[in-house]
């Protein structure tokens, strides 16, 4: 399973795009990159995942570099409710188990 590295914390102004980086230089060819977030006192919430191509859904966009060694999660218009810990996870396990790191604490400020 790929080890991921994320900044410990980030701030973002409300209404602006939040760009959360993740390094996963040890990722292998068949490993997906997953993003989850955890809002205080709640269970983690799935955001998005991708393999090679950039992905977009109603919550966010995921940009994966061509060499797949890093990715960026983009929340296009951050709101106060997006304040959470964001986890970038790479997993090639045959079981799908998620190996969480410490994540990035995103603070959206008014």
Partner 1 sequence: GAGVSQSPSNKVTEKGKDVELRCDPISGHTALYWYRQSLGQGLEFLIYFQGNSAPDKSGLPSDRFSAERTGGSVSTLTIQRTQQEDSAVYLCASSLSYSLAGGVEQFFGPGTRLTVL
Q: DSSP per residue over 58-90, as a string? A: SS-EEEE-TTSSEEEEEETT--GGG-EEEEEEE
* Residue 18: closest CA among 72, 64, 66: 72
- Least separation, in Å, of the C-beta of 40 and partner 1? 12
- Least separation, in Å, of the C-beta of 34 and partner 1? 7
Footprint on this chain of partner 1 (rule: CB under 8 A): 30, 32, 34, 38, 42-46, 49, 51, 87, 92-103
Nearer to partner 1, 42 or 110 (CB): 42
User: Strand, coil or helix: what is 62?
Assistant: strand
Nearer to partner 1, 15 or 97 (CB): 97
- Least separation, in Å, of the C-beta of 97 and partner 1? 5
Nearer to partner 1, 100 or 109 (CB): 100
Question: In degrees rounded to 5, what are phi and psi of residue 41?
Answer: 70, 10
């Amino acid at each position: 399973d790929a080890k991921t590295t994320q900044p410990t914390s980030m701030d973002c102004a409300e209404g602006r795009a939040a760009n959360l980086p993740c390094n996963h230089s040890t990722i292998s060819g068949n490993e997906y990159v997953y993003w989850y977030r955890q809002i205080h006192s709640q269970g983690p919430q799935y955001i998005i995942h991708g393999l090679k191509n950039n992905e977009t859904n109603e919550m966010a966009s995921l940009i994966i570099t061509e060499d797949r060694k890093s990715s960026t999660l983009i929340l296009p218009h951050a709101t106060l409710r997006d304040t959470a810990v964001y986890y970038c996870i790479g997993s090639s396990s045959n079981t799908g188990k998620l190996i969480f790191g410490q994540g990035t604490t995103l603070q959206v400020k008014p």
